[in-house]
Amino acid sequence: MSINHLLNETHDPKLTSWVESANQSGCDFPIQNLPFAVFKKIGTNEEFRGGVAIGEQILDLAAAKNSGVFNGVALEALAACSKNELNTFMDMGKSVWSALRLALSKALASGSSAQDKLANCLVAQADAEYALPCNIGDYTDFYTSIHHATSVGKKFRPDNPLLPNYKWVPIGYHGRSSSIEISGSDFKRPKGQTKAPTATEPSFGPCKRLDYELEIGIFIGNGNALGEPITIDNAEDHVFGICIFNDWSARDIQGWEYQPLGPFLSKNFASTISPWIVTTEALAPYKAQWTREETDPQPMPYLESTQNRTSGSFDINLQVLLETEKMRGAEQGPTPLSQSNFKDSYWTVAQMVAHHTVNGCNLRSGDMFGSGTQSGPNPEEAGSMLELSNAGSEPVSLPNGEERTFLEDGDNVIMTGWCEKEGAARIGFGLVEAKILPAE
């Protein structure tokens, strides 16, 4: 079965919008995308509400609800999107998400009779500020890149880099949702216990090996009842969409605390997501085949399906850039550090959902998964400084003469993602960024 059965008129690459900026080459948010966020105008006392990106503009969904353009299921969906979080809309399910997408696509398309009424519902993205798109009740961080797992394993466990369960089970741990923030939320360098290899006792102080992790954030739409697992073939019906995610990590704190129960204070001090959730329907043209090496263990039946094999992967380009304080002072732009692709992931989104619920765990609207650091097979595709600098032993040289082993105060880490290929519209995710402030 090809991906063609997933496509409909909203994916037509020839489709254009009366919002002219959406038709520009290289635009992140053409009419084929229509991602969701929660926003308000900067510096106002307005309520946060849902919005959809179209070119350089945001369609205010609360205003669109009152425009008189929409009716039926789409109008009900817009009412849900008018709240200050998208959980109610996300919980309405795939058929409602798709109905609203189609209605918005028709209303924003070139020649639409809705232009006059909806033109007044646009807000420039440059004039907007964002909140978390939904209430993230629970957050699970997975470990789906075998390239990252192997590379990091060599640094923490040289004799046993890849634990024997890795190729059998999508590994994950329960993270801290309260410290997930929206792009632009700067944070203070964390403090904690660390222990140098030559020390006899641990010490306390600011983290010295602060790192980023390039990840995908996966948002659950409608969940499942306690005790009722989601099958792998139904898993993506429960996934509302995807964002770019930076899971900040304190490597020296992590090295001391991670055994025997895994990450704790090394991960829960800050995580940052991009404002826009790109729906799984918008990503349909970029579904790709998923394979498993014949010499590796093949997935157990609950993690295996023809559908997952033929279209379980997402072809999403991912990039990390760094802007140092010195660069800002010299008015220099950020420099790229690495680029990878989500299709190199060892486990798929559907497998993550199926595994998370196979024991009867109930997912809820707004729950988020982190994909784990997305590193590719080549050194320049590493998704963390830990890998790029070989655990700090090989400094990364920047174009302005600076070097980095790990991140310094004042560094601004920027991540982005996009899908692009012949015969389909480019789909972008926007940016996620945050600056490191000195420890207290």
Query: Which positions are annotated as active-site residues?
Result: 148
Residue with tokens 């203070």: 188
In this structure, what token pair is assigned to residue 100? 């609203």
Q: Choose among 73, 1, 90, 111: nearest CA to 37.
A: 90
In this structure, what token pair is assigned to residue 370? 């982190």
Residue with tokens 């900040």: 248
Name the pairing type of β-strands 36-41 and 128-131. Answer: antiparallel
Q: Determine if the peptide bond prior to 395 is cis (ω within 30°).
A: no
In this structure, what token pair is assigned to residue 422? 């012949």
Burial profile 307-337: b = 16 or more Cβ within 10 angstroms, e = fewer:
bbbebbbbbbbbbbbbbbeebeeeeeebbeb
Query: What's the distance, CA 162 to chain centroid?
Result: 25
Q: What is the DSSP letter of 219?
A: E
DSSP state letters, 105-154: HHHHBTT-TTHHHHGGGEEEGGGEEEE-SS----EEEE---HHHHHHHHH
For 3, phi and psi rounded to 5 degrees? -75, -10
Q: At what angle do helices 94-108 and 72-81 cross, to 10 degrees?
A: 100
Residue with tokens 């290289």: 26
In this structure, what token pair is assigned to residue 289? 């085949």
Q: Choose among 55, 62, 183, 175: nearest CA to 131.
A: 183
Is residue 302 within 8 Å of 347, Cβ to Cβ?
A: no
d(CA 416, CA 26): 13
Name the pairing type of β-strands 427-437 and 187-188. Answer: parallel
Sorted by sequence, the CB contacts under 8 Å of residue 5 that are 6+ apart come out as none
Sorted by sequence, the CB contacts under 8 Å of residue 200 that are 6+ apart come out as none
Sorted by sequence, the CB contacts under 8 Å of residue 83 that are 6+ apart come out as 49, 50, 89
